[in-house]
Amino acid sequence: MAGLGRFTARRLLSGLGTLIFVLFVNFFLFQLLPGDPLARYKGAREISAADLAKLREELDAPVWEQFLNYLKDPLQLDQYSTIQGKPVWDVIGAAVPWTLFLLGTATLLATVIGIWIGIRAGWNRGSRFDRVSTGVTLFLYATPEFWLGLILILVFSTGIGPFPGIFPSGSAIGSGVDPWTLEGLISIAFHTVLPASALAAVYLADYSLIMRASMVDELGQDYLMTARAKGLMDRAIRRGHAVPNASLPTITLIFLNIGFVFGGAITVETVFSYPGLGLLTWNAIQFQDLPLLQAIFLLFSVTVIVFNIIADLLIAVVDPRIRV
Amino acid sequence: MSTAEVEQPAFASARSITWTRRRKSVVRFVRTFATHRTGMVGVSILVFFIVVALAAPLIFPDYLLDPNANLSNDDMGPPSSEFYYWLGTDDLGRSVLAELAWGARPSLIIGILASLMAMVIGTLVGIASGHFRGLFGGAMERLTDWFLVLPFVPLVIVLQAVLGQTSLWITVVVLGVTSWPGTARLVRAQTLSVEARPYIERAKVLGNSDWKQMTRHVLPNVTPLVIANTTLTVAIVILSMTVLGFLGLLDPNEISWGGMLDSADESGAALRGAWWFLFPPGLCVIAVVLAFTLIGRTLEVVLNPRLGSE
């Protein structure tokens, strides 16, 4: 266990290094912007002439000094969103639960279905199921999530040919419905079906392809031969021996993929007008709300760092060989 | 008369032996590749789109893309039997078919150029971080790890939004400078495994410079891997570019598949049931991305015999 403790400490330390790099990027990325930065600092607030002069003075300082100042307050708690006229973190806080719910649902679906397909396809390599599922997953892998979302709206929301429009296509809940009632929960569930399916379909492609590849890698291993020689049933060998060994890369990928998952959320939430962080990002781009964009990017990056650390620790717990 | 025959060189020069060997290995490579059906499907799709991209200006004249020249057409008119309007019209009355053909151009150009840029950066950083021990190598490795963590799509979006959407070249640079860390990590791992072999030690003992060790011995050994990886990168770059187009971050004067989907979304094509405006751009993206993915996966198998039997 000492090994694990040391590994954790070192992993956290390197995570801290990454965090500083992210802050560096987040600061200088927005320095690239042409024009007077004061316009965006001001946002929708009334600012007195004295404060304005103080801000101007801060901006006239050398860049490295500004960076050090930024490091003292990386969250920039006093920043206001220019589109909503509220502190950026309040705006973000209101959007986070929706995104968590949508991405959580989509990831859960993608994981369960993707791993199931990967196991079956890899175990029976070359079978009909393998060929069909590999074809379909490669196709989904190449599909832009938001396009799938648009098609789902066309087919299941607008209704085309024999399909009636069943699912709603905008927002996350019917207007004027209280989310904490039964009616509200049903409404939320109905609004989630299409965006969650669009995201899940694309992500499951990744997971099932990796799961299939690691199953195929395990196929030739000696321990499977031993298990067979012991006379275990095929199903028992698959469940008890091959799958646990093959799952590691897929589980890691699920955590490491969070950056791509955010990317998908941006476009899919836009298509469905789903009131989460993705739609917020799109609005921030459309209306050049840079304080908001900067805060969202920081949140995305930090989340990715945290998930990376979790993934590494998870592997270290499961597989002691990693703890070097 | 007989002297000419006598003067035929009995031994080929070193150079010609090298070239014969290279030619043979290229032929062998093409033959092996051709036995993989999925790879050949990818090549056929890609060739089709390259031809379309090249021929677009010949088949579909400019005026078809000019909103002002198409005022008399219905907006989002359904497909008709006239060739230009086989796939109907978009929200501005322009031929969807013409836009599709023209849209192939930026996808292929940006996809390939940005991936080449990522390939060069990734290979340089990867070999350097694998070859040099100590501070420099460590710094390169750290840099790769750090960049790997940045959320790719949000980074691309923010970078493009900050730099502005004025030209195709900005998009190439944005996608190029964000897509290299995966390649770098792969190249680093391969460099470490190549450098563990005895002949690198021999080269070192014989006094070859770092540069020569890296370019003459390591580079040829990582090249196959890099080629396969770059092909797969093109797929990801084209997908990301579609996202940029959809978010309205590409040059608005250039027709792109992502941009078409943006106008389809904004003009409510999904709610108006205009399937001819929605399906084709997405299917084109899928076809091209699939083509590069299939080719890349086949290259991985063909160029890396140890993967084998996939």
Q: What is the mean pLDDT of residues A36-50?
A: 61
Contact A143, A264 (CB under 8 A): no
Burial (CB count <10 Å: 0-12, 13-18, 19+), residue A98: buried
| Chain A 114-153, residues with CB within 8 Å of chain B CB atoms | 138-139, 141-144, 146-148, 150-151, 153
Residue B1 predicted with pLDDT over 60: no
Residue B281 predicted with pLDDT over 90: yes
- Tens digit of each residue's pLDDT (9 = 90 or more) over A2-15: 578 888 888 888 88
B266 touches chain A (CB under 8 A): no
Domains of chain A: 95-286 (1.10.3720.10)
Average pLDDT for chain B = 84
Residue A237 predicted with pLDDT over 60: yes
Neighbours of B229 (CB within 10 A): 22
B186/B183 Cα distance (integer angstroms): 5
B27 touches chain A (CB under 8 A): no
Contact B53, B104 (CB under 8 A): yes
Residue B5 predicted with pLDDT over 60: no
B272, A266: Cβ pair inside 8 Å?
Answer: no
B146, A18: Cβ pair inside 8 Å?
Answer: yes
Q: What are A80's strand-pairing partners?
A: A87
Residue B141 predicted with pLDDT over 60: yes
The reported pLDDT for the residue numbered B288 is 95
B282, A281: Cβ pair inside 8 Å?
Answer: no
Q: What is the ipTM metric for this complex? A: 0.84
Distances (CA, A) of A205 to A142, A199, B230: 9, 10, 20
Q: Which three-class secondary structure state does DSSP give residue A87? A: strand
The reported pLDDT for the residue numbered A108 is 93
A13/B141 Cα distance (integer angstroms): 16
A71/A27 Cα distance (integer angstroms): 9
Q: SS in 3 state form for B80-117?
A: CCCHHHCCCECCCCCEHHHHHHHHHHHHHHHHHHHHHH
Q: Report the C-alpha dihedral over residues A281, A145, B66, B100, rounded to 10 degrees.
A: 160
CA A115 from chain centre, in angstroms, equals 18
The reported pLDDT for the residue numbered A212 is 93
Task: Give how far B159 is from chain A: nearest CA, Å.
Answer: 7
A169 touches chain B (CB under 8 A): yes
Task: Give how far A134 is from chain B: nearest CA, Å.
Answer: 11
A216 touches chain B (CB under 8 A): yes
Quote the percentage of chain A above a pLDDT of 90: 24
Identify which has the larger pLDDT, A99 or A169: A99
Residue A165 predicted with pLDDT over 70: no
How many residue contacts between A and B have a Cβ separation below 8 Å?
147
| Chain B 150-209, residues with CB within 8 Å of chain A CB atoms | 150-155, 157-159, 161-164
Q: What is the mean pLDDT of residues B174-197?
A: 88
Q: What is the mean pLDDT of residues A87-95?
A: 88
Best to test chain A binding among B185, B232, B246 (most A CBs inside 10 Å):
B246
A192/A171 Cα distance (integer angstroms): 9
Backbone angles phi, psi at B8, to 5 degrees: -60, 130
Identify which has the larger pLDDT, B162 or B24: B24
Q: What is the mean pLDDT of residues B270-285?
A: 86
A270 touches chain B (CB under 8 A): yes
Residue B310 predicted with pLDDT over 80: no
Helices A182-219 and A88-123, interaxial angle, to 10°? 40
